[in-house]
């Protein structure tokens, strides 16, 4: 009975993943506004009814795809050495994400466009950002032995890390093609954070 239940849950997880991947690929190809639930169901090889058993809308399925990918990076953060300074751990994980974008720059740009400019995603942006911030804050609190509900430290560290990363990507986007990408600027940003944002030359 336990084995049957386990198999059923694995199949459910596989179906959920297939739907999430399908909506992401279709959105990258056409733009989310042009994708229908029928399209997603066909691409995932499921019925429209099955789609609705897992997700209420295509936006919800797309959010699930991003959330699943982000949870992988949260696991990487949790797995960093316990005695490693939290800013170093965050820098390592976030720089790794940035390094991965070098191989797929067009996918990254398109994903950002799907999330930030799609009209159907507009009402979900702040919800997603709040969720990401909360998830990172919880990991920071656990790693540093602080309480996110009573201590400002984990919230401040999370806000600084997210801002540093966004700034690094935005700054890299202004550079000429062929120049160093966001990974370099994430390292530089975190070096500045550790230095207390003193206006001095900092080795990247």
Question: Domain extents for the chain?
Answer: 62-194
| Local confidence pLDDT in tens for the 204 residues of the chain | 556 667 888 888 899 989 988 988 888 788 778 889 999 999 999 999 999 999 999 888 888 877 887 888 999 999 999 899 999 999 999 998 877 665 544 455 555 555 555 666 766 777 777 888 999 999 999 999 999 999 999 999 999 999 998 888 888 777 765 566 788 889 999 999 998 877 655 555
Predicted pLDDT at 144: 93
Distance CA 159, CA 149 (A): 15
Class of domain 62-194: mainly alpha
CA neighbor of 35 nearest in space, from 23, 21, 19: 23
Predicted pLDDT at 132: 86
DSSP letter for each residue of the chain? -HHHHHHHHHHHHHHHHHHHHHHHHHHHHH-GGG--HHHHHHHHT--HHHHHHH-SSHHHHHHHHHHHHHHHHHHHHHTS-TTS-HHHHHHHHHHHHHHHHTT-HHHHHHHHHHHHH-GGGGGGHHHHHHHHHHHHHHHHHHHHT--TTT-SHHHHHHHHHHHHHHHHHHHHHTSPTTS--HHHHHHHHHHHHHTTT-SS----
How is residue 157 written in tokens?
A: 């560290």
Predicted pLDDT at 115: 57
Predicted pLDDT at 200: 58
pTM, whole model, 2 decimals? Answer: 0.71
DSSP letter for each residue of 56-84? SSHHHHHHHHHHHHHHHHHHHHHTS-TTS
CA neighbor of 20 nearest in space, from 129, 126, 28: 28
Predicted pLDDT at 134: 93
Predicted pLDDT at 97: 81
């Amino acid at each position: 009975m336990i084995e049957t239940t386990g198999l059923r849950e694995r199949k459910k997880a596989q179906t959920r993943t297939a739907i999430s991947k399908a909506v992401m690929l279709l959105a990258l190809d056409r733009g989310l506004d042009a994708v229908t639930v029928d399209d997603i169901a066909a691409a995932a090889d499921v019925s429209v009814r099955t789609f609705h058993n897992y997700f209420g809308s295509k936006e919800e399925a797309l959010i699930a795809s991003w959330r699943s990918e982000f949870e992988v990076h949260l696991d990487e953060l949790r797995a960093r050495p316990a005695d490693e300074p939290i800013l170093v751990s965050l820098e390592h994980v976030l720089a790794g994400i940035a390094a991965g974008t070098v191989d797929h720059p067009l996918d990254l740009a398109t994903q950002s466009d799907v999330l930030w400019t799609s009209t159907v995603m507009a009402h979900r942006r702040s919800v997603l950002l709040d969720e990401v911030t909360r998830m990172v804050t919880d990991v920071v609190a656990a790693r540093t032995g602080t309480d996110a509900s009573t201590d400002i430290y984990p919230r401040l560290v999370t806000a600084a890390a997210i801002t540093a990363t966004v700034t690094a990507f935005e700054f890299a986007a202004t550079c000429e093609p062929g120049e160093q990408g966001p990974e370099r600027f994430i390292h530089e940003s975190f070096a500045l954070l550790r230095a207390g944002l003193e206006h001095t030359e900092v080795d990247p």
